[in-house]
Structure 1
């Protein structure tokens, strides 16, 4: 679910009626925390209206507009038609409303969260396709399926998006494993895990001895 959260065209209309809850520290003032205040991942200041929020218009310029145009240019004509049909009324209303201050920041957050949720939906769908294939081919009970990611993303906590500051909200990442048949360990693992632990875990599950020079533990 990586920036800039361009949803699959079949998912564009999802979550448009949902109002996402603002984190309690959404309008964090960073009192006494200058290092935090200087991070360039503020929804208010650093979230690009065109690249991140898709508010593309020929008479508007933003620092990352050209990058958005590159991504937009990858679509074929049919995809662009669906994309433009969805975004044009949102773009027109946005520039007409001319939001300022906290109203603009709240609008940006809702737009961000809706786009983010749509890309999560697409990821979920494709994880499902992999599992369905394994089941259909009779491979599911002989396959270790691992779901993980890189650093956790800020979803508005401290007024942020991205992941470039070590606060609690961004410390954790998903790590979910569907074990093959015959392995009875399941449930929540309370120990801390690092990505150097993946290799010895996979080797042990496969019945292979773990070389002594591998860092990490199963």
Structure 2
């Protein structure tokens, strides 16, 4: 009889080894262009690249609603925003919903999430969670634990999130397979890097995108209303760390009290041993502004470089911490039986059209990096060009561990695609719907459909349509909606859009669409 518990434990351990562990690393606003596996233009990210090199990289991965909270709800549910209830960042996720982590948990998985949550309700479906309140802080971050207590942790958020995730891996039940969601704050605005990467990246100069100085003239109302211009809307003090003292005598650049307060709040959180050096480095920006008093395109030139320096320094820290996870998996013999995913909640404008931030259905914002490593299942170096979407993640994880995909999930499993059992997905077009319109960036609500060649966008508050030929106009600058030769394509794309609205049960009135 004494052998029975031993045999039962052995059986549980063996079963755990048959089902893969899942580690899902998601950064915030990390554009694919800032990953060297996609582009060598801006930065080297050797650790993130390793996942792609040893697994599969998706060249056409997209999101369904390019904004933070909704992207997280889509991960949990495998549903579009109108179905999971998280249309924008202002709403609260219904934590009573059945989610992918709850299904894995019911199937015998240990589940944990560490880092950015951003859904207002407390996490459910997790055996362990430790999350940032709201957007979270870069330095000396605060975390909410499972008891509802908030504590401050010493250090830099990306490092702390990784450390807490690895601690959980150390202390988990080794007889069960696990799901770990590691959700980083970086490189989200206000782009505050750790000192060692500030030292390195403020010395660099980066190539300018071809459309950095693009005029908004000749484009639709949505372009005229947006407030995501690097020149006009990115703040010198709170975004780019220019000491307000250098700006007070320049009327056009003088910060308001809110910006000054945010600048002070940022630097007051930095430990004293680093703060003086950080201010010394950023002092060069203030001195340049005070000396040259740049305006217009000259100011944009400097602001773009400083944006890239800080943003990419945050990315470098993320890459370093991905390396820590890879090293942990290797040292603890977990790599072989772990499905490892790296992605972002959406793309990010890095100066294209003179913009920063996301939200749009244009590819820069809608596209997201995605790579998966699963030794023995995914062939190393696999390139996947099929269009996939973040509604596909939850069903893929369930499929990977052998669990049934619920009918209410709207995505499809990517497992047959990444394992080579399938070469074409049973879906030719992607549906998109963005809802949040507020003063921060004032991007109009819109919806649309992306095909392999054509994209149709409808800005329904102003009843404006846009049609793009992605083959001839990858930057989406030439609206073909009124070009006679494209009227047949326009009609076809509108029909596809209506079909997708029916398929995904999105019948909310949107302008002329019912």
TM-score (norm 2): 0.40
Which residue of the other structure, out of 35, 42, 46, is the alignment partner of 2:222? 35
1:70-89 → structure 2 map (5 Å cutoff) = 70-89=265-284
Residue pair 1:109, 1:156 contacting (<8 A) in 2 also: yes
Aligned to 1:194: 389
More divergent stretch after superposition (146-155 vs 30-39): 30-39
- 1:45 maps to 2:232: yes
Deviations 1:95-144 (A, max 9, x none): 22211221111011111111111111001000111111111111111111
More divergent stretch after superposition (68-77 vs 103-112): 68-77
Task: Give the Å deviation of 1:185.
Answer: 4.7
1:156-175 → structure 2 map (5 Å cutoff) = 156-175=351-370
Residue pair 1:39, 1:165 contacting (<8 A) in 2 also: no
Question: Structure 2: any 5+ residue segments left out of the alignment?
Answer: 1-186, 249-253, 414-514
Higher strand share: 2
Distance 1:199 1:164 in 2: 22
Residue pair 1:43, 1:156 contacting (<8 A) in 2 also: yes
Residue pair 1:25, 1:158 contacting (<8 A) in 2 also: yes
Aligned to 1:12: 198
Distance 1:15 1:157 in 2: 20
Q: 1:164 to 1:68 in 2, by over 3 A?
A: farther
Aligned to 1:98: 293
Distance 1:31 1:175 in 2: 34
Residue pair 1:55, 1:91 contacting (<8 A) in 2 also: yes
Residue pair 1:36, 1:165 contacting (<8 A) in 2 also: no
- 1:2 maps to 2:184: no
Point out the structure with max Rg over C-alpha. 2
Aligned to 1:214: 409
TM-score (norm 1): 0.91
Distance 2:205 2:197 in 1: 17
Aligned to 2:346: 151
RMSD: 1.8
Residue pair 1:203, 1:209 contacting (<8 A) in 2 also: yes
Task: Give the Å deviation of 1:88.
Answer: 2.2
- 1:182 maps to 2:380: no
Task: Give the Å deviation of 1:17.
Answer: 3.7
Distance 1:178 1:68 in 2: 40
Residue pair 1:39, 1:164 contacting (<8 A) in 2 also: no
The aligned length equals 217
- Structure 1 segments of 4+ aligned residues over 4 angstroms from their partners: none
Q: 1:29 to 1:90 in 2, by over 3 A?
A: closer
Task: Give the Å deviation of 1:190.
Answer: 2.3
Higher helix share: 1
